[in-house]
Amino acid sequence: MGDKKLATLVIAEHDNKSVSVDTLRTINAATEIMSENKQVEITVLVIGFHCESVVESIRHISAVSNVLVVNSDVYQHLLAENVSALIVHVCKEHIGNDYSHILAPATTFGKNITPRVAALLDVGQLSDVIGIESPDVVIRPIYAGNALVRVKSNDEIKVMTIRSAAFDAITTNDSVEPPHAFCIEMNRLDNYILAESSEFVSQQKVVSARPELPAASVVISGGRGLGSKEGFELVEQLADKLGGAIGASRAAVDAGFVSNDLQVGQTGKIVAPDLYIAVGISGAIQHLAGMKDSKVIVAINSDPEAPIFQIADYGLVGDLFEIMPELIRSV
């Protein structure tokens, strides 16, 4: 470790309008990096294009001491090639900042960019961190969450991605203008870094009025047992009744019931809501990895032997097509 000064840089994820809940959870994780019982200074880097509202909300987080803003259409689509180079540039060149920790949310955005940053800095990365013990010791899950590992990083710069489900979101306080928060417009970088050899072509986002999966306090997930796209509508109706998000098992996604960004599991999204209702999901290891830290788990399945019942707080065996309409009526 040496006597390097400790300072944390958090890479913000946003859509140029609002900051993502995963970023707020990452900032909260950053507050747990303590040196001599004092919180290590946190700087948030916002890379985007016309993202003033994002910066404004981050300025209202009292734990954040600096906000750095890079505003250019060059970074509109956040391609890994130039964004990672920019982050390294900020770490090495910008106003003498010398960061000991670089944190990003373990979302597809963070997973895409952060290892590239680590390799450019010639350091390792700690993925999907769920606990921070000290400035250089963290806990992370391995084997689809079936084991946890305590890891010590010997790198000068600790690069981490933070698993959202393991941390609460930090609160933004609109009424208080923290005096210590200031913005540095980096509009005039010597020259913007162009993405070499890669270009953005298109994006197809699924538009939904329901809450985002990682942020929802209630998640209703459907599996193969629902039998069809039409059967899956029962899950949607229950979610709407409870104000929850919908999720799915891989089987339901592969069968075409729902789009694959709703998949919960090791290879999909990791969620930990207050209430997780699994409908027609057997409970394969890969699925459990994505939801077994939910506070209350309810399983509804026609097969009494389904593994999901071994971790459910409340289990109900029966015909989904009889149970679900009754449940929708009675909540």
Q: Which residues sit in the known binding site for FAD?
A: 224, 249-250, 263-267, 280-287, 301
Angle at 192 between CA 188 and CA 193, to 5 degrees: 155
For residues 43 and 7, the answer to whether their CB atoms sit within 8 Å is yes
Q: How far apart (Å, rounded) are the C-alpha atoms in residues 64 and 278?
A: 38
Least separation in angstroms between residue 158's CB and another protein is 10
For the chain, give the number of residues.
331
Looking at 51, 61, 126, 271, which residue binds another protein (CB under 8 A)? 126
Residue among 73 and 254 whose Cβ is closer to another protein: 254
Residue among 59 and 250 whose Cβ is closer to another protein: 250
Q: How far apart (Å, rounded) are the C-alpha atoms in residues 280 and 316?
A: 11
Least separation in angstroms between residue 26's CB and another protein is 14
Burial of 287 (0-12, 13-18, 19+ CB in 10 A): buried
Stretch that binds another protein, among 45-53, 103-111, 168-176, 184-192 (CB under 8 A): 103-111
Q: Which two tokens stand for residue 93?
A: 């060149």
Q: How far apart (Å, rounded) are the C-alpha atoms in residues 234 and 327?
A: 10
- Enumerate the known binding-site residues: 224, 249-250, 263-267, 280-287, 301
Stretch that binds another protein, among 45-53, 117-125, 167-175, 229-237 (CB under 8 A): 117-125
Looking at 24, 118, 165, 272, which residue binds another protein (CB under 8 A)? 118
Residues in 231-250 that interact with another protein by CB under 8 A: 242, 250
Q: Which two tokens stand for residue 3?
A: 């006597």
Residue among 34 and 120 whose Cβ is closer to another protein: 120
From residue 269 to residue 308, the character string flagging contacts with another protein as x (rule: CB under 8 A) and all else as - is x----xx---------xx-----x--xxxx----------
For residues 323 and 299, the answer to whether their CB atoms sit within 8 Å is no
**Going by DSSP bridges, is the β-strand pair 34-35/38-39 parallel, antiparallel, or unpaired?**
antiparallel
Q: Distances from the Cα of 224 to the Cαs of 120, 176, 278, 313, 319, in angstroms?
A: 43, 49, 11, 21, 13
From residue 140 to residue 169, the character string flagging contacts with another protein as x (rule: CB under 8 A) and all else as - is xxxxxxxxxxxxxxxx--------------
Residue among 67 and 308 whose Cβ is closer to another protein: 308
Residues in 14-33 that interact with another protein by CB under 8 A: none
Looking at 79, 162, 252, 320, which residue binds another protein (CB under 8 A)? 79
Task: Transcribe 246-286 into DSSP letters.
Answer: EEE-HHHHHTTSS-GGGBBSTTSB----SEEEEES----HH
Residues in 188-227 that interact with another protein by CB under 8 A: 195-206, 218
Least separation in angstroms between residue 10's CB and another protein is 18
Q: How far apart (Å, rounded) are the C-alpha atoms in residues 217 and 168?
A: 11
